[in-house]
Structure formats: C-alpha cells, structure tokens
Amino acid sequence: MTALEAPQVLSAGSRQGGARLRPVTRRQQTVAVVPFVSSLALLFVVGMVGLLLLNTTLQDQAFVVRAQQRQATELGYRLADLEAQVTEARSSTELAIRATELGLRPNPYPGYLMLPDGTVVGEPSRVTGAELPEVLYRSPEQLQAEARARVRAAEERRLAARAQAEAKAKAAAEAKAQAAAKAAEEAAKRQLEEDRG
C-alpha cells in the first residue's frame, strides 16, 4: 500500500462540517440496596425452612424404616420358629410317636404296592405287636405311669434308707446306754468290793 492510498486520519477539530465529538461519561448504575437485601433474606429463610422440612421428613422416614425393620426381624424369627415346628412335625420320630399313640405298630415284613401295574411285592401280613419282642411299645400314658412309678420307688428307697439310718442310730444309742449302764454297774461292784475288803 502506498501513501497515496492510505486512509487519512482526521483529527477531531479538522472534521469537515460536523460537530465536535466528545467522550460520553458513563452513568453510574445504583442497585437498590433494600430490595436486594430483602430478597436475599427471603431466599435464605425459604432455604432454611426447606432444609428443616427435608430434615424432619427424613427423620420421620428413618423412624418408619426402623419400625418396619424391627417388624421384619420379628416376622423372620416367627417364620423360623414355624418352619422348625413343621420340620419337627414331619420328622420320623414324631411320626412314630403319633403312630404309637394311635396304637399302630411297625411291620418288619411289609408288602410294597407297585403303582404302575398294581402288583404287590413281598407278603403283606397283619401286625400283632409281637414281631419284634425286644421292642416294647408304650403309649405316652404308660410312659408317664412308669415315670411316676420310678419316682415313687425312689421316694420309698429314700424313706427306707432314712428309717434304716434312724434304726442304726437308735441301736447305737441303746448299745452305748447299755455299755454305760454295764460300766456303771461294774464300777459299783468294784466299789462295793473295795468297801468290803
């Protein structure tokens, strides 16, 4: 670019036919202090109330959760107890006890029925209760009567032992008294002999 083509910068006073330009001063913007502070205070109060409500709601929910957890734990214990009762009721021992209460006896020689064709395997026989002589079958009432008889026998043995001990003590006391009387009699005889002699 050449000097002839360069744009000419005109100074402010050398403008042609125009008004002089002067710098514009900025206007100071003033923010209203009272509305601003009051809006901040309102925002702070609303935030605090919101936090308080949130905290209260969370605490209420925590109490509900704890109560439901406690209830779930109790129900779990109850379920475990019921399952244990069902397992015990299904056990072979419990079934044998109930069968004995009803007067049933085990059959050592059972017959089996094959379901698909209906054939019987083995010889089914009626149970008399004497098939296994070494096994004694007793009802709960019989077991209670035996327990009462054992307690009664133990009490009678205790009373007999006490009576025997009392009889021994009485016999020992009588023997001691007789020995003392005999010793006194001998002492009296000796005294008489000494007095005579």
Span 143-173, pLDDT tens digits: 788 889 999 999 999 999 999 999 999 999 9
Percent of the chain residues topping a pLDDT of 70: 84
Question: What confidence category does residue 127 fall into, taking pLDDT thresholds of 50, 70 and 90?
Answer: confident
Query: For residues 135 and 66, what is the distance between their CA atoms, to the nearest angstrom?
Result: 56
User: How far, in Å, CA of 110 to CA of 128, rounded?
Assistant: 13
Instruction: Give pTM, 2 decimals.
Output: 0.37
The answer to whether 110 touches 124, Cβ cutoff 8 Å, is yes
pLDDT digits (tens, 9 = 90+) for 23-76: 888 777 666 788 888 999 999 999 999 999 999 999 999 999 999 999 999 999
